[in-house]
A and B are shown apart, each in its own frame.
Chain A
Amino acid sequence: MLKSKKKVLLTFLALIVAAMHVIPFYILITTSLKVRGDFSSRWAIPEYFTLENFTIAWREANLGPAFVNSTIITFSAAVLLIFVGSLAAYPLARRNTKLNKAAMMFFIAIMVVPPLTALVPLYQLVVDIGMLNTRTIAVLNNVAAFLPLTVFLYSGFIRSTIPKELEEAAKIDGASTIGIFFKIVFPLLKPVTASVLIIACVFIWNDYQFAIFFLQSSDVQTLTVAMASFFGENQNNLGLVGAAAFMAMIPMAVLFLFLQKYFIAGLSSGAVKG
């Protein structure tokens, strides 16, 4: 009897936690459904239904092009990360030479460097090479920022789970190192590749700190930058801000709800870096 009472209490507690965490999203929805001039409480659901805020915000915040930019940047960066990162990790995991140990230490040391401290000179570098306001620079920067973690994850995985025997057999058959890597090793790296893909998707998609420095012109803006400038113009029109925020968060939220298990596993493996 006591046990079931305890269970009811715990279930009730869980519901309170869930309710508390839902509040911001509830407010987001009621706010974005209310037209300008409706000063009724944010807690009340409007008595009418209109998507006016959404259509206005979509147009004025340039969310369409921003969505395309975010997608291109995130996807290209993820592909480059997977390619450059796995390639780098292979010798670091397999050949225990002094040089490779030093290289591994180099990548690990870089993980500790907080990227923001380098932003000022990095901005100057980007201006000097004439790549300010290009999607390319956003891709390159993000690749550099997540490479150490990627190399770290790949080399750990290769070392601990990929059997050497396969590669040795292929070597005897006369395969080249690069052939062995792409034909035999790379296909076996799927679990880490999935993690890297998810980490890249979440962090690069959501990035604002790099983007605000390098993507200020409106044709290359990502979702976060577009959102920030839209907020600057409509700070007093909360309905529009809410609608834009809602639309900006939807792609990642939907992806998460469908692939929850993979997201949590992927992000936990990256959590080591944070």
Chain B
Amino acid sequence: MSELVGKLKAKTGFSRRKQKVSKESSLWWMYIPAVLFVTIFIVYPFMDGVRISFTDWNGFSQSFNFIGLEQYTRMFNDPTTWTVIRNTLLYGIGSTLLQNGLGLLYAILLNNSIKFRSVTRTIVYLPVIISPLIMGYIFYLFFAFQNGALNDALLFFGFDPVNALGNADINPYIIVLVNTYQFVGIAMIIYLAGLQGISKDFYEAADIDGASAFQKFKKITMPMLAPSITINVVINIIGGLKLFDVIVALTGGGPGNASQSSSTFMYDLYFSRQDAGYAATQGVLIAFIILVLSMLALWYFKRKEIEA
């Protein structure tokens, strides 16, 4: 996996190695179709979104007014904005912590030559390829108030049933849990690849010096896994901040707006509340948050890698 990071650096030009500028023809016509695709379907809408965020457009009418920063003042005074930001960060950062913690534990466990390890890996990884929406419905069967598996188990052991999905204090955490369950396999696989890249010599040398298992983990395993951690954290943060399908399946953003993420809130504003201008403003905000957080994560872990 460190090889992957190396390749990444080389490809993105982040490496310091200067490449000679070629004087040959650019053959630019070969990438014109790709540039057109991206410009029409990503760049143009993205810029248009910024324009719409300054209007009171309802999403279907021909006429609308430019109202300056009104949607932005509205956004910062709207208590729902803060719920949405809190949830979006919870989904992003909460899932990242859980997925990395669990993913690393699973990887360490399944890196041993034990029975059932490939079956277990397959089982843990399988949900990654299933649609998050469908995974959400599968968990709906588990958490449903009426005759859901969780409540059946609680009743069996003599507890009261809980309305887990309808309770605003619990359901954002359930969403984090489901998202973690679904994607922990990615973290596990990346950590497994990282672990397999660590030479056994380090551990043997540490054994000779009489290092404890914890010392070995802290002084050898963790620093050597730094590139895998960077990749995992960045993927998980981006994935978690964009969360949409699972929320739609489990809570629909409710009760009220209690479990709404930025994505589901924007969808609601646009389609159910005919508030396109405001939806675009929320879009600008989340784009900004995602950008800042992923850059911060990248910067922080890159620095760590260099130190290590």
- The interface of chain A, by Cβ under 8 A from chain B, is 7, 10-11, 13-15, 17-18, 21-25, 27-28, 31, 39, 41-43, 84-85, 87-92, 94-101, 103-108, 110, 112-125, 140-141, 143-145, 147-148, 151-152, 155-156, 159-160, 177, 181, 202, 205-209, 212-213, 223-224, 227-228, 231, 236, 238, 241-242, 245, 248-249, 252-253, 255-257, 260, 263-264, 267-269, 271-274
- Assess A117 versus B49: contact at CB under 8 Å? Given A91-B30, A208-B245, A242-B141: yes
Task: Write out the residue numbers on chain B whose beta carbons fall within 8 Å of the beta carbon of A107.
Answer: 34, 38
A253–B31 touching, CB < 8 Å: no
Of B45, B128, B234, which is within 8 A of A121 by CB?
B45
A14–B152 touching, CB < 8 Å: no
Task: Write out the residue numbers on chain A whose beta carbons fall within 8 Å of the beta carbon of B38.
Answer: 106-107, 110, 144, 147-148
- Assess A208 versus B244: contact at CB under 8 Å? Given A96-B19, A144-B42, A231-B137: yes
B130–A206 touching, CB < 8 Å: yes
B222 within 8 Å of A (CB atoms): no
- The interface of chain B, by Cβ under 8 A from chain A, is 4, 7-8, 10-13, 19-28, 30-31, 33-35, 37-38, 40-46, 48-49, 51-52, 59, 106, 109-110, 112, 114-117, 119-120, 122-135, 137-142, 144, 146-149, 152-153, 155-156, 181, 186, 189-190, 193, 231, 234-236, 238-239, 241-242, 244-245, 248-249, 262-263, 266-267, 270, 276, 279-280, 283-284, 286-287, 290-291, 294
Cα distance A98–B21 when bound, in Å? 7
B129–A256 touching, CB < 8 Å: yes
Known: A104-B13, A110-B42. 12 other contacts (CB 8 A): A21-B126, A31-B149, A88-B33, A95-B22, A105-B13, A118-B49, A122-B41, A147-B38, A208-B244, A223-B131, A242-B141, A274-B235
B306 shortest CB reach to chain A, Å: 19
Which residue of the partner chain B has the closest CB to A140? B41
Of B31, B40, B115, B238, which is within 8 A of A144 by CB?
B40
B116–A18 touching, CB < 8 Å: yes
Task: Write out the residue numbers on chain A whose beta carbons fall within 8 Å of the beta carbon of B51.
Answer: 121
Q: What would 18 A/B residue contacts be, using CB atoms closer than 8 Å?
A: A10-B112, A17-B106, A18-B124, A94-B27, A95-B25, A97-B24, A105-B13, A118-B46, A119-B266, A119-B270, A120-B52, A202-B128, A231-B140, A248-B134, A252-B130, A267-B129, A271-B190, A272-B235
A41 shortest CB reach to chain B, Å: 4
- Assess A14 versus B34: contact at CB under 8 Å? Given A21-B123, A98-B21, A228-B248: no
Cα distance A164–B245 when bound, in Å? 45
Cα distance A9–B67 when bound, in Å? 66
Per CB-CB distance, the 7 closest pairs between chain A and chain B, nearest first, are A144-B41, A274-B235, A88-B34, A206-B131, A91-B27, A88-B31, A121-B48
Task: Write out the residue numbers on chain B whose beta carbons fall within 8 Å of the beta carbon of A148.
Answer: 38
Which residue of the partner chain A has the closest CB to B119? A18
Most chain B CB neighbours (cut-off 10 Å) among A115, A119, A125: A119
A116–B138 touching, CB < 8 Å: no
Cα distance A110–B189 when bound, in Å? 27
Cα distance A22–B236 when bound, in Å? 22
A96–B189 touching, CB < 8 Å: no
B109–A17 touching, CB < 8 Å: yes
Which residue of the partner chain B has the closest CB to A201? B129
Which residue of the partner chain B has the closest CB to A142? B41
- Assess A155 versus B11: contact at CB under 8 Å? Given A18-B123, A114-B286, A120-B266: yes
Cα distance A227–B148 when bound, in Å? 19
B46–A113 touching, CB < 8 Å: yes
Which residue of the partner chain B has the closest CB to A32? B141
Which residue of the partner chain A has the closest CB to B235? A274
Cα distance A144–B28 when bound, in Å? 18
- Assess A227 versus B134: contact at CB under 8 Å? Given A118-B46, A120-B280, A123-B270: yes
B31–A103 touching, CB < 8 Å: yes
A238–B147 touching, CB < 8 Å: yes
B138–A113 touching, CB < 8 Å: no
Most chain B CB neighbours (cut-off 10 Å) among A31, A95, A121, A122: A121
Of A10, A92, A242, which is within 8 A of B31 by CB?
A92
Most chain A CB neighbours (cut-off 10 Å) among B137, B231, B266: B137
Cα distance A10–B92 when bound, in Å? 31
Cα distance A208–B12 when bound, in Å? 30
Which residue of the partner chain B has the closest CB to A109? B43
B19–A253 touching, CB < 8 Å: no
Task: Write out the residue numbers on chain B whose beta carbons fall within 8 Å of the beta carbon of A145.
Answer: 41-42
Of A14, A114, A224, which is within 8 A of B241 by CB?
A114
Cα distance A268–B181 when bound, in Å? 18
Of A27, A43, A106, A120, which is within 8 A of B270 by CB?
A120
B119–A112 touching, CB < 8 Å: no
A224–B133 touching, CB < 8 Å: yes
